[in-house]
Amino acid sequence: MKRPLILIAGPTASGKTQTSVLLAKAINGEIISADSMQIYKGMDIGTAKVKPEEMQGIPHYMIDEWEADFPCSVATFKERVKSYLEEIYQKGKIPILVGGTGFYINAILFDTQFEETSPDEDYREELQHFVNENGVDKLHEMLREVDPISAENIHANNIKRVIRALEYYKETGHPISAHNEEEKEKRKGNESPYAYTFFALTMERSKLYERINLRIDQMVEEGLVEEVRHFFEAGYSEDLPSMKAIGYKEFFPYFKGEETLEASIEQLKQNTRRYAKRQLTWFKHQANPIFLSVDQLGFNPETIVSEMLSKINLNNKDLEV
């Protein structure tokens, strides 16, 4: 029998934190963050990390797992989440996955196999030297010869992904695009190892954008600029995955004297709105989401949770851990 998993996904400022805590109380659940940046210590304000008092005694996982310079891959993320899922199930409780990052959510829901290969540092260095000498287009041609599908999907300027695809081919003898297609078909077929219920929080676009702008103003008041400055002054490279997060990357030009603070804040608002739009689009292409329009429910967490409970049969065998 498949074990239960509840997913609450939604764009930033849609009320996931309060809603997930109330639902956890109602169904004897515990919460796992599916946000790819809340795993990093010290990145609190910019990632809208749940505060201890907001947890209301409900255990939360995948928060403050690693230092901000740790190169966490989606495969590493997924394996850590799986260990926490097992821990929650062993307690006889129901895990609630709250996100977050679409690619990471799918990796967990469908137990995506990444076929991680051992890094060939010599070959990687050889490819990097090749691109330095010959340019990105020549490197992209190398990929097109062995994996035309990946070459079509990966821009020549995305050197990291081009090199990764070439590494994968050298290591396995198979194009990485074929493996990715297998995983995509698995998602299409809704082949999840879990009996999951997927709630997607949505709202009217203009209201969402208004809430995003207000939230960012509040983050700045709470000390967001100082939080990012800490990483900048500590020497964290803006090329680190953590520092490329929305809420952090926008302020590096300001600290370097290349941009005003006002322009950096406006850029953050714009980037957040664009990301929220992509999140809403992502929901529409997922398997069996239950859409909840939180604006029509008055942005009231209790009302939202009542709607969720009406969709979840707590006596259903699928919810037996």
Binding residues: 10-17
CA angle 298, 300, 301 (to 5 degrees): 150
Q: Residue 201: beta bridge partners?
A: 292
State the binding site for substrate.
12-17
Residue 67: enclosing H or E segment and its boundaries? none
The 8-class DSSP code of residue 247 comes to T
229/292 Cα distance (integer angstroms): 37
- 1: exposed, middle or buried (Cβ count in 10 Å: 0-12, 13-18, 19+): exposed
Provide the 10 A C-beta neighbour count for residue 104.
22
180/174 Cα distance (integer angstroms): 11
State the binding site for ATP.
10-17
130/213 Cα distance (integer angstroms): 44
42/40 Cα distance (integer angstroms): 6
